[in-house]
Amino acid sequence: MALVLQPRREPSKAMVWAAPVIAVLATLIVGALLFTALGYDGFGAVNAIFIQPLLNSNRWQDLLVKAAPLTLIATGLAVGFRANVWNIGAEGQYVFGALAATGIALLTLDMQGLWILPAMVVAGVLGGMVYASVPAFLRVRLGVNEILSSLMLNYVAVQLLFYLMRGPWRDPMGFGFPQTAMFSLDQTLPRVIPGTLIHLGVPVALAAALTMWFLMARTLAGFQVRVVGAAPQAARFAGFRETRVVWMSFLIGGGLAGMAGTFEVSGPFGQMVPTFPVGYGFTAIIVAFLGRLHPLGIVAAALVLALTYVGGESAQTTVGLPAAAVGVFQAMLLFFLLGSDILVRYRLVRKGAPPARALPVTASPATRAVPGAAE
Amino acid sequence: MPARLELSGITKRFPGVVANEAVSFAVQPGTIHALLGENGAGKSTLVKIIYGVQRADEGTVSIDGRAVDIGSPKAARALGVAMVFQHFSLFEAMTVLENIALGMDDPPPASALEAEVRRVLDTYGLSLDPHRDVHTLSVGERQRIEIVRALLQRPKLLIMDEPTSVLTPQEVEQLFGTLRQLADSGCSILYISHKLNEIKALCASATILRGGKVVAQCDPRAETARSMAELMIGGSLKDLSVKAGRSFGSERFAVSRLSAPGEPPFGTSLKDISFSVRSGEIFGIAGVAGNGQNELLAVISGERREGVSGEIRLEGRPIEGLSVSDRRRAGLASVPEERNGHAAVPGMTLTENALLSARAKKGLSAKGILRFGAARDYAGAVIKAFGVKATGPGATAGSLSGGNLQKFIMGREICQEPAVLVVSQPTWGVDAGAASFIRQSMIDLVAKGAAIVVVSQDLDELLELCDRLAVLNEGRLSEPMAVQTISVERVGLLMGGVHGAHDADADTAPRAA
């Protein structure tokens, strides 16, 4: 007797949207049990990570600041995921975009003017796009699997960051620390609410998600992306070119990741440091799927994942959880999401028990030839 | 003597549908019994129950008078039941013999198996080389592999599921010869089909299913094809309005010296294809599947442009350099063979599916913005004009039955009033009512001056619809023939790759291509 998955006739619409909620709840429960079993205060940990930041209004700004880059990156990735273009390289595009913006910042350290920050943003977006066009080119022209190429390029970008921090871009006045000079005021992302940490990146991320919603739902370009993802042959029938959609997916994904990188380096960080990559590019993949690839769902999902960052930090001090616990919770979330998604589309059934009665075996041996003369 | 196979009270329910309801009938030893019904009538489910792929919820299956419990295809084979499926399961890159061995529960050594295979081939006069690679074989030869596979089991009951849908008329005759010989030697055959003339020619008894129930038992030899069709669809058939008296205008669409590489890995390349169609004319392209039909459709529609040489002209204007969308704007409409995932996106609504091919002509998008209101109205208009059974423009394409989706797709193209419509397998897998509606809509379209190219494997359909037809074989197109004066035998030979030297007379001296 075995359990097999049987496709459901039609997945329930409600369950498609309930699955992320179920995944979050399962993560909380299993996470609490797991860390209890490991000898920590598991329920305290879940409380510290997922509940306390919500109750403490001082932490809300932290949530928004962490959710902004996740929203930007996930919004861009979701375009590609809709089209079956698997850009796993957002972390690298995020770093590369931030490096491009940092380059402008280092060139303009002694200058003044309102144009400097916009120039950094443009450089950051272009940097992300340039970095994303490598796997795009490889896939379109040479048929290279973009999952592998974009994934591996993440590590290249991080190594480039390390090199620049230790060598060419190291702050000469920085006592030998591997980091750049602090950015000037004109290079720093302004706060939108004075007295808080909430910077311009927060409303921009929300605007980006809303814009993408419109683009995907209402424009021909968004429709092309959806058709290419759902049925590539039908896309050709409709006159849509897959290569164009692949390029578009990578450029949007890379561009938004680069923008997020620019906002981080010019906002919360205020300089480039080797610890700049914190995995937003990978976490954004979870955000995109938890948000059902829908721009508004992504905003909500980004807030949930931002919780794991914000709460994870405080749980290290209050419950004494290791830093890796955040990664465990994020991974569990993705695991339970994928699991519930499977059960939304399939049902689990017991495969036929072997017949209780013995079969009347009357036929001749199956391998003998010469058919016919049965009687 | 007890019946070879007896079903009594077989009922099978799936969530939302009853596939079979209290089905009872019997097949006598050594007879060929037809199981007749439209798509969705429950034939497949019933056969799966007999072959052990599925279990009945109620009822009993008896073989030779003994009630049996068939839990798996293996158990069915042990009881002497063999089956030849409509879709072959063969590995193209392996030989005939290797494929046969792979399909056996307990294959003997290769040399012993080859001897047995050759004995079966000799006994039934089947020609097949056990050492050929499958991808070099015609569809008819591939089917013979499946038949040999079945016969090696010395079956007492052989189930044939729509075996002739991919065969040429000559191959059908050969197959019938084999089946009759098999029946004479005592094996019962359950023959599933919806081709009534074949059933009249082959079967001594028939069970007709409709909506999962047995609606009639008859002797096909005593019935007319029409009377059986009416039993099958549960109503009276509408005649197509006469095609005689159609008048042709000037040349609308012409293809000359068109060549293109085949789809990898085993696709058929197109070789030097030329034909032309006039205004008001329906031009048919007959042929067995896999002879370049899909390639031809893709090249004409513009979905494939790489490596294509030759000319395509629409009203005298060359269009071979244009994109899919530009060809549509020029007045070309196309309907590919595959509905789900090619002509339509199953997971999208009919409104969204209308956007696929009607954007330009019906103004469903402007400056890159989709006009959903207009798309909804157009989808609604198509649903109404073509009598599509759907909950409305918001229904997903995947929720429609095959026939209704095909009506929607044909309607989506025809309501754009194209100058030229190129359509592949317009009624494949479509119930008889929808099929006759679709054919009529094509006749009405040419009456308004359009030109239509129909690619189909169904020769009867082409003979009914077309003014002229040509045969596509291994990527080459024969000379066009006027349908009124056509010889079915010659068409069959062309389909089988035998190109007679001259005209369509009794010159049938076979010359292998």
Same domain, B192 and B304: no
- pLDDT of the residue at B398: 87
Report residue B247's pLDDT band, with 50, 70 and 90 as the boundaries: confident
> Is residue A282 in some structural domain?
yes
Average per-residue pLDDT for chain A: 88
Q: Which of B233, B263, B297 is the endpoint of a domain?
A: B233
DSSP string, B250-285: SEEEEEEEEEEPPPTTTPPPEEEEEEEEETT-EEEE
Domain with residue A193: its CATH number is 1.10.3470
Helices (H), B268-371: 293-301, 324-329, 350-358
Same domain, B211 and B272: no
DSSP state of B133: B
Region B118-135: mean pLDDT is 88
Confidence check: pLDDT of A290 > 60:
yes
Q: How many Cα neighbours within 13 Å face the side chain of A143?
A: 0
**Chain A residues inside the 8 Å CB shell of B338:** 233
| CB proximity B103 to A under 8 Å | no
| CB proximity under 8 Å: B 405-464 to A | none
Cβ within 8 Å, pair A360-B68: yes
Strand order across the B66-68 sheet: B17-27, B5-14, B58-63, B66-68
> Is residue B134 in some structural domain?
yes
CB under 8 Å to A250, separation ≥6 — which residues? A80, A85, A87, A129, A132, A133, A135, A136, A146
* Domain enclosing residue A225, as ranges: 12-349
Parallel, antiparallel, or unpaired for β B205-210 and B32-36? parallel
How far from B453 is each of B138, B419, B436, CA to CA, in Å? Answer: 25, 11, 17
Same domain, B430 and B326: yes
User: What's phi and psi for B298, nearest 5 deg?
Assistant: -70, -35
DSSP string, B93-121: TSBHHHHHHHT-SS---HHHHHHHHHHHH
Where do we find the tokens 């992300």? A128
SS3 state of residue B249: coil
Q: Write out pLDDT tens, residues B131-160.
A: 999 888 877 788 889 889 888 888 999 999
- pLDDT of the residue at B485: 83
Instruction: Tell me the three-class secondary structure of chain A, residue by residue.
Output: CEEEEEECCCCCHHHHHHHHHHHHHHHHHHHHHHHHHCCCCHHHHHHHHHHHHHHCHHHHHHHHHHHHHHHHHHHHHHHHHHCCCCCCCHHHHHHHHHHHHHHHHHHCCCCCCCCHHHHHHHHHHHHHHHHHHHHHHHHHHHCCCHHHHHHHHHHHHHHHHHHHHHCCCCCCCCCCCCCCCCCCHHHCCCECCCCCCCECHHHHHHHHHHHHHHHHHHEHHHHHHHHHHHCHHHHHHCCCCHHHHHHHHHHHHHHHHHHHHHHHHHHHHCCCCCCCCCCHHHHHHHHHHHCCCCHHHHHHHHHHHHHHHHHHHHHHHHCCCCCCHHHHHHHHHHHHHHHHHHHHHEEEEEECCCCCCCCCCCCCCCCCCCCCCCC
Burial class (CB in 10 A: 0-12, 13-18, 19+), A351: exposed
Same domain, B189 and B258: no
- pLDDT of the residue at A368: 36
| CB proximity B251 to A under 8 Å | no
Q: Write out pLDDT tens, residues A176-215.
A: 888 998 999 899 999 998 888 999 999 999 999 999 999 9
Report residue A365's pLDDT band, with 50, 70 and 90 as the boundaries: very low
Cβ within 8 Å, pair A374-B186: yes
> Is residue B334 in some structural domain?
yes
**Region of B255 on the Ramachandran plot (φ > 0 left; ψ -120 to 50 alpha; else beta):** beta
Report residue B241's pLDDT band, with 50, 70 and 90 as the boundaries: low
Q: How many Cα neighbours within 13 Å face the side chain of B453?
A: 30
| CB proximity under 8 Å: B 360-389 to A | 365, 368-370, 372
**Nearest CB to B187; choose among A234, A361, A372:** A372
Of A145-159, A278-292, B265-279, the poorest mean pLDDT is in B265-279
> Is residue A142 in some structural domain?
yes
Same domain, B204 and B124: yes
CA distance B154 to A372: 6
**Nearest CB to B119; choose among A221, A355, A369:** A369
Same domain, B229 and B316: no
> Is residue B397 in some structural domain?
no
Residue of A nearest to B299 (CA): A237
Pick the closest to residue A368 from B126, B98, B103, B106 (CA basis).
Answer: B106
Domain with residue B325: its CATH number is 3.40.50.300
SS3 state of residue B11: strand
Same domain, B255 and B213: no
Confidence check: pLDDT of B237 > 70:
no
- pLDDT of the residue at B513: 35
> Is residue A141 in some structural domain?
yes
> Is residue B246 in some structural domain?
no
**Nearest CB to B370; choose among A218, A238, A374:** A218
In the beta sheet, which residues pair with residue B133? Answer: B95
Same domain, B335 and B275: yes
> Is residue A2 in some structural domain?
no
**Nearest CB to B356; choose among A218, A234, A355:** A234
CB under 8 Å to B58, separation ≥6 — which residues? B9, B10, B11, B22
Of A12-16, B69-73, B96-100, B421-425, the poorest mean pLDDT is in A12-16
A56-63, long-range: CB < 8 A, 24+ apart? A59/A310, A59/A314, A61/A193, A61/A196, A61/A197, A61/A198, A62/A197, A62/A306, A62/A310, A63/A303, A63/A306, A63/A307, A63/A310
Cβ within 8 Å, pair B156-A236: no
Parallel, antiparallel, or unpaired for β B5-14 and B17-27? antiparallel
- pLDDT of the residue at B98: 92
> Is residue A327 in some structural domain?
yes
Do B397 and B353 form a contact (C-beta atoms < 8 A)?
yes
> Is residue A5 in some structural domain?
no
Cβ within 8 Å, pair B182-A372: yes
- pLDDT of the residue at B110: 87
| CB proximity B295 to A under 8 Å | no
CA distance A24 to A304: 9
| CB proximity A354 to B under 8 Å | yes
Region A356-372: mean pLDDT is 37
Q: How many Cα neighbours within 13 Å face the side chain of B503?
A: 4
Same domain, B229 and B257: no
Number of folded domains that form chain B: 2
Cβ within 8 Å, pair A237-B356: yes
DSSP state of B349: B
Report residue B240's pLDDT band, with 50, 70 and 90 as the boundaries: low
CA distance B383 to A184: 64
Q: Write out pLDDT tens, residues B185-233.
A: 999 999 988 777 888 889 999 999 888 889 989 998 888 877 887 787 7
Cβ within 8 Å, pair B117-A369: yes
Q: Write out pLDDT tens, residues B446-466.
A: 999 999 999 998 888 888 899
CA distance A215 to B287: 45
- pLDDT of the residue at A352: 55
CA distance B267 to B298: 13
CB under 8 Å to B60, separation ≥6 — which residues? B7, B8, B9, B10, B67
Number of folded domains that form chain A: 1
Same domain, B210 and B327: no
C-alpha distance from B482 to closest chain A C-alpha (Å):
31
Same domain, B164 and B32: yes
> Is residue A371 in some structural domain?
no
CA B276 to chain centre: 25
Average per-residue pLDDT for chain B: 86
Region B401-420: mean pLDDT is 92
The angle that helices A295-318 and A280-290 make with each other, rounded to 10 degrees, is 130
C-alpha distance from A236 to closest chain B C-alpha (Å):
6
CA distance A294 to A99: 29
* Domain enclosing residue B480, as ranges: 251-342+419-495
> Does the interface predicted TM-score (ipTM) exceed 0.85?
no
- pLDDT of the residue at A165: 93
Q: Write out pLDDT tens, residues B496-513.
A: 766 543 333 333 333 333
> Is residue A35 in some structural domain?
yes
Same domain, B270 and B329: yes
Q: Write out pLDDT tens, residues B461-499.
A: 888 899 999 999 888 999 999 888 887 778 877 877 665
SS3 state of residue B50: helix
Cα dihedral A229/A235/A239/A243 (nearest 10) = 40
SS3 state of residue B226: helix
**Nearest CB to A233; choose among B16, B29, B341:** B341
Confidence check: pLDDT of B236 > 70:
no
Q: Write out pLDDT tens, residues A5-32.
A: 887 777 788 888 888 899 999 999 999 9
> Is residue B505 in some structural domain?
no
Do B454 and B284 form a contact (C-beta atoms < 8 A)?
yes
Q: How many Cα neighbours within 13 Å face the side chain of A171?
A: 17
Region A348-359: mean pLDDT is 54
| CB proximity under 8 Å: A 234-253 to B | 234, 236-239
Task: Count CB atoms within 10 A of the CB of residue A147.
Answer: 15
- pLDDT of the residue at A78: 96
Cβ within 8 Å, pair B154-A360: no
C-alpha distance from B386 to closest chain A C-alpha (Å):
21
> Is residue B477 in some structural domain?
yes
C-alpha distance from A7 to closest chain B C-alpha (Å):
12
Burial class (CB in 10 A: 0-12, 13-18, 19+), A226: buried
CA B24 to chain centre: 28
CA distance B411 to A288: 38
